[in-house]
Amino acid sequence: MKKRSIDVVVISDVHLGTFGSRAEELMAYLSSIEPKKLILNGDILDIGKFNKHYFPASHLRILKKIISMASNDTEVIYITGNHDDMLRKSRNTFIGNFSIQDQLILELDGKKAWFFHGDVFDISIRYAKWLPKLGGYSYDLLLLLNRILNWLFIKLGKERYSLAKKIKNSTKNAVKYIDNFERTAIKSGITKGYDYVICGHIHQPKKEILETKNGKCTYLNSGDWVENLSALEYSFKRWKIYKYSHDKLSPFFADEELKSMELT
């Protein structure tokens, strides 16, 4: 099957090495596209959780796929996040078409785009690193419970259900935090003179244009591959939010690895 040619693809918050990572769906997506640039916008690996000794073959295949794409004319830029911040020691490393960076600035059809993970705007990470870890373990437990429930739902012929997403969307403090994060990112982009601000971190895919007296900026968030299964795509001078649940193609086997996977 012919793959879709895309100028820029952005994915973030895959969290390989955790129970919640939806690596098989991500493999299906990556196997359906041919991007000129693939921007991995942080938290692709969950290095802090490696002590659990959980890293299944499907997660390893994602790394293999990314390396394969870099070997076949796709420029791959790995931007570090808070869950893979150990890689920040290797910032500005370039190996062929693969590089590791803290942030990225691109010019896209005459407009300036600023890519970064977004944890720089998270006060809990900057000043109390133990808070996200405490929340992270609770989140992992919730995802494990959700995984068991979804196994039952699929057996019963029902759709998947995200407990974590439901809780986030119904909690006023979470909604306020997300809104503050987005506003801070947009205002920072306007101050710096960027046309696009592209983040991850908060697991909320979004495209929004904000205009103030100081200028205008488009905020974009690539979401995640734990709950939303989303990405950003740039082609024909425009951005689109890709959502696996709505935009996935008919079943296909572009790669041999997909044949052995259960994709739902």
Q: Model confidence over 12-70: pLDDT tens digits?
A: 999 999 888 999 999 999 999 999 999 999 999 988 666 567 889 999 999 999 999 99
Confidence class of residue 90 from pLDDT cuts 50, 70 and 90? confident
Q: Is the pLDDT of residue 131 over 50?
A: no
**Domain parsing of the chain, residue ranges:** 4-260
Q: How far is CA 71 from CA 49, 57, 118, in A?
A: 28, 21, 28
- The answer to whether 42 touches 200, Cβ cutoff 8 Å, is yes
Rounded Cα gap, residues 91 and 101, in angstroms: 5
Q: Is the pLDDT of residue 226 over 90?
A: yes
pLDDT of residue 153: 57
Q: Is the pLDDT of residue 109 over 90?
A: yes
Residues in Cβ contact with 72 at an 8 Å cutoff, skipping those fewer than 6 apart = none
Residue 249 vs residue 74, higher pLDDT: 74
Residues in Cβ contact with 47 at an 8 Å cutoff, skipping those fewer than 6 apart = 17, 83, 84, 85, 86, 87
- pLDDT mean across residues, the chain: 80
Confidence class of residue 132 from pLDDT cuts 50, 70 and 90? very low
Residue 3 vs residue 173, higher pLDDT: 3
Q: Does domain 4-260 have CATH number 3.60.21.10?
A: yes
pLDDT of residue 34: 96
Q: Model confidence over 184-222: pLDDT tens digits?
A: 888 888 988 999 999 999 899 999 998 888 889 999 999
- Structure-block tokens of residue 64: 């293999």
Rounded Cα gap, residues 230 and 29, in angstroms: 10
Would you call 168 helix, strand, or coil by DSSP?
Answer: helix
pLDDT of residue 211: 85
Confidence class of residue 126 from pLDDT cuts 50, 70 and 90? very low
